[in-house]
């Protein structure tokens, strides 16, 4: 008698639709067709839908003017700095909340509120408090990145295997030693999961901050292109940002894979 | 996160707010742009009385919900078709990943070019951002129906249509709901972003206008309203499907 399998956990939406290297290349077919049709039927001078060739020339133009590389550097810099800061803070605070019930309950409603707040809403306040520079961007991105990591670390720290605590006691590890050698590695997969979840939000917030403050990054260039009615540039920035996003996700996934070796739990 | 309100937490929050108030009143702290809770409360009352805050909330809520419904409808349908057809998945998978990778905020300038400073611009951005979670989740759910269930359908000699209707769709429902739930959070975030960067209406616009007018109390009032809206929508989404995998969605 076959027993029906238990309900599966729903597929996390971060998973790609196209596993397998050959399928990955074949999967570009749809995109290629869309771009081709757009190219053939589009008017390069259209104010709304410039052809893909126009995007490419706009990008080359910007690069010739020496603006692409600095923009990428600015955006990536703020994004990575904020992401790393947010991850560290989220991991530490999350671990603390997971281990100390009292603090967890005390922080509950505040965290619930901050978690539900769209991070972009903080940008104007951050601008007033911290100005328009890199410090503001890193802070805002850091805040945005903290939540997912915090929640994951909190869940993992709260459900720590009891044997791990016993290990510390048996080996008579000092508090710090235990934190560094036992707690941190066991939280690493959860922290990386949170990091993966927050990567796209962090990039969006970086771009929002740049767009609003007219900074030099990709967001700033896109804002300028929109203001000066240069749609080809806007699309070029779009493609650039998408490429950055893909790169960031690939890096985080690789990091996840390295840390997860040997573990059977996700 | 638990939906129960811990009184310790509420007390802690009130305590912190009181400390903040006292610190400013006692002249210990004068941050020009971080007004004490009393001022924020006063600004909130003023904004509610003038009708500005309710109008902003209404606008953001309507745009978020309408965009969400369209996004879930389109995304779930597309996900269903993709899930049922491995061929379709094979030839479009990476393309969809590429389209998904575009940070939705950069749709704002594109939408501005198309629609100007208009609610349609907001809706375009919201729908674009919100369509992916349902699409990917539904495709995953439909495509990942356990083989045993499909065997049952084959044993019972069900037609393809009947198999889809009576085995595949019910098995995919949890995934569809998760996709819908994640989409709602995304829709709110992008509605606020679109309002901040483009459409002159709604909470996002209120925040920007207040910050440009150097009215931090009014700005904070809008920010608090946005946060509360986020909680309300999150709770509504939770009632739809329960906790998302991994301990909570990221807005």
**Do residues A134 and A78 make contact, with C-beta atoms less than 8 angstroms apart?**
yes
- What value does the mean pLDDT take over residues A188-216? 86
- In angstroms, the Cα distances linking B235 to B72, B132, B174, B181, B240 are 18, 21, 17, 10, 9
Taking CA atoms, what residue in B is nearest to A214?
Answer: B197
For the segment A81-94, what is each residue's pLDDT rounded down to a tens digit? 999 999 999 988 88
Question: Tokens for A229?
Answer: 């009615």
Mean of per-residue pLDDT scores for chain B: 83
Find tokens 């995953």 and name the residue: B140
Give dist(CA B249, CA A206) in Å, integer: 19
Three state DSSP letters for A172-198 = CCCHHHHHHHHHHHHHHHHHHHHHHHH
Contacts of A145 in chain B (CB under 8 A): none
Burial label for A45, CB within 10 Å (0-12, 13-18, 19+), is exposed
Q: A residues 206-225 near B, CB within 8 Å?
A: 207-208, 211-212, 218-219, 222-223, 225
Collect all residues with Cβ–Cβ distance below 8 Å to A216 and sequence separation of at least 6. Answer: A70, A71, A74, A210
Model pLDDT, residue B128: 94
pLDDT band with cut points at 50, 70 and 90 for residue B29: low
Model pLDDT, residue B31: 66
Mean of per-residue pLDDT scores for chain A: 81
pLDDT of residue A17 exceeding 70, the answer is no
- What value does the mean pLDDT take over residues A191-198? 85
pLDDT of residue A55 exceeding 80, the answer is yes
What pTM did the predictor assign?
A: 0.83
Q: Does A5 touch chain B (CB under 8 A)?
A: yes
| Vertex A57: Cα angle to A55 and A58 (nearest 5) | 60
For the ranges A252-261, B78-87, B223-232, the lowest mean pLDDT is seen at A252-261
Burial label for A77, CB within 10 Å (0-12, 13-18, 19+), is middle
For the ranges A106-120, B184-198, B219-233, the lowest mean pLDDT is seen at A106-120
pLDDT band with cut points at 50, 70 and 90 for residue A19: low
> Torsions phi, psi of A12, nearest 5?
-65, 135
Total CB pairs under 8 A between chain A and B: 269
Give dist(CA B59, CA B57) in Å, integer: 5
More confident residue, B137 or B163: B137
Question: Tokens for A33?
Answer: 């067709």
* Percentage above 90 pLDDT, chain A: 5
Model pLDDT, residue A131: 80
Find tokens 């203001």 and name the residue: A227
Give dist(CA A235, CA A221) in Å, integer: 11
Give dist(CA A180, CA A159) in Å, integer: 18
**Do residues B121 and B198 make contact, with C-beta atoms less than 8 angstroms apart?**
yes
């Amino acid at each position: 008698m076959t027993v029906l399998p238990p309900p599966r956990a729903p597929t996390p939406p971060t998973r790609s639709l196209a596993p397998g290297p050959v399928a990955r290349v074949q999967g570009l077919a749809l995109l290629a067709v869309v771009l081709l049709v757009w190219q053939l039927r589009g008017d390069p001078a259209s104010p709304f839908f410039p052809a893909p060739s126009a995007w490419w020339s706009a990008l080359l133009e910007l690069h010739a003017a020496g603006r692409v590389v600095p923009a990428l550097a600015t955006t990536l810099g703020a994004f990575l700095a904020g992401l790393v800061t947010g991850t560290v803070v989220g991991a530490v605070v999350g671990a603390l909340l997971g281990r100390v019930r009292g603090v967890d309950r005390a922080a509950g409603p505040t965290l619930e509120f901050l978690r539900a707040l769209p991070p972009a809403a903080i940008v104007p306040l951050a601008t007033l408090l911290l100005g328009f520079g890199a410090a503001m961007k890193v802070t805002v991105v850091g805040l945005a990145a903290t939540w997912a990591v915090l929640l994951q670390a909190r869940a993992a720290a709260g459900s720590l295997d009891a044997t791990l605590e016993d290990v510390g006691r048996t080996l008579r590890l000092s508090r710090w030693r235990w934190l560094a050698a036992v707690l941190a590695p066991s939280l690493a997969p959860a922290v990386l999961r949170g990091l993966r979840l927050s990567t796209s939000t962090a990039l969006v917030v970086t771009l929002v901050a740049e767009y609003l403050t007219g900074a030099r990054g990709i967001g700033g260039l896109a804002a300028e292109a929109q203001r000066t009615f240069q749609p080809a540039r806007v699309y070029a920035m779009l493609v650039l940002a998408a490429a950055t996003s893909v790169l960031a996700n690939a890096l985080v996934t690789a990091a996840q894979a390295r840390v997860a070796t040997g573990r059977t739990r996700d | 996160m638990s939906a129960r309100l811990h009184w310790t937490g509420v007390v802690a929050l009130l305590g912190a707010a009181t400390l903040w108030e006292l610190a400013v009143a006692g002249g210990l702290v004068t941050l020009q742009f971080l007004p004490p809770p009393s001022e924020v409360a006063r600004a909130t009352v003023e904004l509610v009385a003038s009708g500005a805050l309710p109008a902003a909330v209404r606008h953001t809520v309507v745009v978020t919900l309408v965009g969400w419904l369209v996004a879930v409808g389109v995304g779930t349908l597309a996900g269903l078709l993709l899930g049922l057809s491995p061929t379709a998945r094979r030839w479009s998978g990476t393309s969809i990943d590429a389209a998904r990778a575009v940070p939705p905020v950069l749709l704002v300038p594109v939408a501005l070019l198309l629609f100007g400073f208009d609610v349609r611009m907001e809706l375009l951005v919201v729908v674009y951002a919100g369509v992916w979670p349902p699409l990917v989740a539904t495709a995953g759910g439909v495509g990942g129906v356990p083989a045993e269930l499909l065997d049952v359908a084959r044993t019972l000699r069900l037609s393809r249509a009947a198999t889809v209707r009576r085995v595949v769709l019910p098995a995919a429902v949890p995934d569809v709901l998760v996709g819908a739930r994640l989409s709602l959070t995304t829709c709110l975030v992008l509605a606020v972003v679109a309002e901040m960067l483009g459409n002159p209406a709604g909470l996002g616009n209120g925040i920007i206008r207040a910050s440009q007018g150097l009215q931090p109390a009014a700005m904070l009032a809008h920010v608090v309203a946005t946060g509360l809206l986020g909680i309300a929508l999150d709770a509504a989404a939770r009632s739809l499907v329960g906790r998302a995998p991994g301990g909570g969605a990221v807005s």
